[in-house]
A and B are shown apart, each in its own frame.
Chain A
Amino acid sequence: MHEQLETLLEMQDLHMQRRALEEGDVREFESGVFDMSVEEALAALDDKISELEHRLTGDVQERYRRVIGRRHRAVVPVLGGVCYGCFVAVPTSWASEADPNDKMNVCQNCGRFHYYPP
């Protein structure tokens, strides 16, 4: 897997954890069952996200900032040949390649990064 894609996936997971913690049920669960200090956890997640953002380079960082500002998610899976960001079919020129995640793929329609789940 492309190293920058791996960083993006990790950032996305952190964004997702962050959003989840802001929801009532999850917040209640994490603080009730697991005794988590939610405010501290949110701050820790923010720190980690910005640390990872600095690890992105050049075009990838620029695109990430552009896409995340406009949309909710910067990386979306491609399932059944369809981009799960904009639901437009993705040309399958990569089909013969070993692992499409080894390079950075970008949706020609919505601009998000593509991830091909195993």
Chain B
Amino acid sequence: MQLRDFFSTDTVDLALKTETKDETLRALVRLFHLDEKSESILFKMLKRRETLGSTGIGRGIAIPHCRSLVVNRLRVAFGRHAAGLDFKAIDEKPVHYVFLIVAPPLEVSNQYLPVLGKIAQFSKEADVPDRLAGLESPKEFLQLLEEKGV
């Protein structure tokens, strides 16, 4: 299983124009093209997870995540925000890179935690923040994941 296989170019937004953490979560959820109610439930759950402790793991990276009944398979998205967002991150620094991951309550192949783990592992690599900053297209994002081989 490679991280690259879970992402596609249409769930990558390298130019988020949002002002707040909430708006950012909404913008990323919208990339999944769910119906309005499902979007709103998913947003609530992600927000709830954030109130239990920020998913900003430092170095400008956040990984909001939750399980929810409204998705029927594991979904991931990536967003980049040039100015940076207040995510109440562990290191209190602004967040520029947001990986969103959602999964249904039960999955056949149970990929949720392994995928979360891989994103966390990817995020810890020394050059990753700079590489993410330099991306010019969603395709380059996928190439970076491939190159890192996570």
**Chain A interface residues (CB < 8 Å from chain B):** 1, 6, 9-10, 12-14, 16-17, 20, 25-26, 29-30, 33-37, 40-41, 44-45, 48, 75, 77, 101, 115, 117-118
Contact = CB atoms under 8 A, between A and B. Distances in A.
B120 interface: yes
Interface of B: 34-35, 37-38, 41, 44-45, 48-49, 51-55, 57, 63, 66-70, 72, 90, 105, 113, 116-117, 120
Indicate the member of A29, A75, A115 with the most B CB atoms within 10 Å: A29
A52 to B, nearest CB: 11
16 contacts: A9-B69, A10-B41, A10-B45, A14-B48, A17-B49, A17-B67, A29-B113, A30-B53, A34-B55, A36-B53, A45-B52, A75-B69, A117-B70, A118-B34, A118-B38, A118-B70
Smallest CB-CB A-B distances: 4 pairs: A36-B53, A41-B52, A1-B37, A33-B120
A74 B44 CA distance: 19
Q: Is the interface of A mostly helix, strand, loop or mixed?
A: helix
Contacts of B66: 13, 17
Contact of A33 (B44, B57, B69): B57
Nearest to B33: A118
A40 B70 CA distance: 26
A45 B45 CA distance: 11
B41 A13 contact: yes
